[in-house]
Structure 1
């Protein structure tokens, strides 16, 4: 989806004044403070900043994994696009949303996979949670999605423990996409991988997002990832969003001193 189309659409996700403090934090120290953003259908939004800037905490707040007070996360749910406050939903409905319309790709793939079951079972488990019970369908979809993320479908019965780090990350992506979610949250999906593996994984993510018309929030410390994948980028520092806008504008003409420092640290010889 191009930017003009995005700007004329209704937001799929809207975050309003989200804040979070970790237990035991010093007074006045916030992991996330008064963060607001909008995400549109088919849009990729990158959240960048140094380690400890609050970007992963913001992602987990949005996902409902950690509590936030104050703040709201509104989402257009289902085919009728009912506007709901995610954090106000009953726990059962929030879990259902997380395993159907949303996906979450962990930084460390082992945290997003069940390492004691097969690759095919990892993909099929999410389908089963959505109500699918036919063994043949589970196998067929497992093979289809392994192929879609460029894994050998003949390894359907292999354990994820036998896969490399990049292969595990691809399997985790397949596990998330099998239910055709509308929104995927990704926390440093290429961190810790070899450069060549990162490049292939980023190309795969870009293709899948485009082909499936996914909306995505991607946390990354790598400005190159933001430039490659995201239409818009927001910059976090000490729990606050200090700058946001079109990715090329933010990275080529940064306005906030912190963003200027981030960009100059990448281009400096």
Structure 2
């Protein structure tokens, strides 16, 4: 079995700052990997490069499709990349408003992604939207309301429903619970964990929350100054960190 996604020798500078410094990372089908590190460590830059949203200055990103064929993500034409994002991939933004169309109804947000993937039957699309609102614990009776009528936590649930309705193989998540109240974060993390397990998704997510990484991830990647300083199974990295920086991260959580 091949990895579903590979970043090979990725490098990117912003002036004198090394955002990515010879970074390589593989993600396997059905695996959940958390990228952790302090602000400025390069974790969000790495996520965006792997998702095809930023171009690296060196290295390449390979995606292995369902048939096993490898595609160089940054060599794809724009139309090919959009098709990939509509069907095989999903992206959950930290701010749900970045992943939703605020002027379109809740059901319309979910239905739009189905239509972009080829859905045309209005009744089927509306039924799927209702089903997915239920699956993310939203009231389908509110399908025709605008997202601005929902709380931040509910908007994030709606963004997740919009992302997963096409059953992508790979999902990128950028701080999916950031900015939410602690109680809302806990419920949302439980929801994400259950959906990921149910659908067998491969997930790459960025977080500064060690508790979220422990709950969701099979494997953890620790970044500092644009480099991966440690990686391994989640329990091993968090219970027996080897690198001094990882030790400092874990100790800071235990002391909080």
- Interval containing the TM-score (normalised by the shorter chain): over 0.9
- Contact conserved, 2:2 with 2:64, CA < 8 A, in 1? no
- Tell me the CA shift for residue 81 of structure 1: 2.2
- Contact conserved, 2:13 with 2:20, CA < 8 A, in 1? yes
Q: 1:234 aligns with which of 210, 221, 225?
A: 221
- Tell me the CA shift for residue 174 of structure 1: 0.4
Partner of 1:21: 13
Partner of 2:158: 171
Partner of 1:117: 104
Separation in structure 1 between the aligned mates of residue 176 and residue 182 of structure 2, nearest angstrom: 13
- Tell me the CA shift for residue 30 of structure 1: 1.2
TM-score after normalising by structure 2: 0.98
Q: 1:30 aligns with which of 18, 29, 52?
A: 18
TM-score after normalising by structure 1: 0.93
Secondary structure of 2:87's counterpart equals coil
Q: 1:127 aligns with which of 106, 114, 119?
A: 114
* 4+ residue runs over 2 A deviation: none
Separation in structure 2 between the aligned mates of residue 139 and residue 113 of structure 1, nearest angstrom: 17
Q: 1:12 aligns with which of 4, 13, 16?
A: 4
Structure 2 stretches lacking a partner, 5+ long: none
- In the comparison of the two structures, how many residue pairs are matched? 256
Partner of 1:212: 199
Instruction: Provide the aligned C-alpha RMSD in A.
Output: 0.9
- Tell me the CA shift for residue 121 of structure 1: 0.7
Separation in structure 1 between the aligned mates of residue 21 and residue 120 of structure 2, nearest angstrom: 43
Separation in structure 1 between the aligned mates of residue 173 and residue 11 of structure 2, nearest angstrom: 20
Deviates more, 1:182-191 or 1:87-96: 87-96
Partner of 1:39: 27
Q: 2:189 aligns with which of 189, 199, 202?
A: 202
- Contact conserved, 2:2 with 2:68, CA < 8 A, in 1? no
- Tell me the CA shift for residue 133 of structure 1: 1.4
